Amino acid sequence: MTSTTERVAIVTGGSGGIGQASALRLAADGTAVVVHYNGSKERADETVTAITESGGRAVAAGGDIAEEPTATTLFDVAEREFGGVDVLVHTAGIMPLSPVAQLDLEVFDRVQRVNVRGTFIVDRLAAQRIRPGGAIINFSTSITRLQTPSYGAYAASKAAVEAISLILARELRGRDITVNTVAPGPTATALFLDGKSPELIEQIANNNPFRRLGTPKDIAETVAFLAGPARWVNGQTIFVNGGAA
């Protein structure tokens, strides 16, 4: 095991979109990063390479985050490679869209498995293994407030994530560990853009006062704040959406 005094983060879903941007941003602050992936090892390796070529430290680790052995391995890798874990950034999730009346129950169950069970598993491990002074950062969505049609299963899963986060923050009383949830608005990631026409994307972007979609880097700035200096922000859901309504 490598002994180190630097902060160490696990970023789930670190191979794409907001996860990748968060891993790069944390590394820029001097944090060592375990980059988790499920389906895209190549992109995770690209993230690791980008970090190491810039003088940082990172490793990739893969697997289904809704399975406890996979999640446990992430913490084991962080402790073996970097000496411990200070930050969990849990961005991994899925977002199939369908009106409630037409949604296949198997799809609904898969969304809850990945988004709710996955969060519960990694948060439980984080509560056991993150060092004092650490931070747990989960991900919800502004859709829980925007109430956009076709997002029923996804919004339901993310409302559960918010509830888990708020309760865990209080359960960790006396541990000096913050627990917060980031709730992005429409953000230009593959997950969001998939299946949407250019016209629809433009319409959604124009709903924002800035008249654009968010970017993964926009979201990563809030992650970096919560992962480091935001020691008095705890038990909160932070909407990062440029004022979308």
Residue 199 placed within a domain: no
Residue 193 placed within a domain: no
Residue 195 placed within a domain: no
Q: String of b and e for 145-164 (b: at least 16 CB within 10 Å)?
A: bbebeebbbbbbbbbbbbeb
Percent of the chain clearing pLDDT 70 (strictly above): 98
Mean pLDDT, rounded, of the chain: 94
Structural domains of the chain, count: 1
Residue 81 placed within a domain: yes
Residue 3 predicted with pLDDT over 60: no
Q: How does pLDDT run across 169-181, given as a tens digit for each residue?
A: 999 999 999 999 9
Q: How far is Cα 10 from Cα 86, in angstroms, rounded to an integer?
A: 8
Residue 209 placed within a domain: no
Q: Among residues 75, 154, 192, 239, which one is catalytic?
A: 154
Active site residue 154: yes
- Residues 13 and 93: beta-carbon distance below 8 Å: yes
Residue span of the structural domain in which 62 resides? 8-186+216-238
Split at pLDDT 50, 70, 90, the class of 205 is confident
Residue 174 placed within a domain: yes
Task: Provide the whole-model pTM.
Answer: 0.94
Q: String of b and e for 20-33 (b: at least 16 CB within 10 Å)?
A: bbbbbbbbeeebbb
- What CATH number has the domain bearing residue 174? 3.40.50.720
Residue 210 placed within a domain: no
Residue 50 placed within a domain: yes
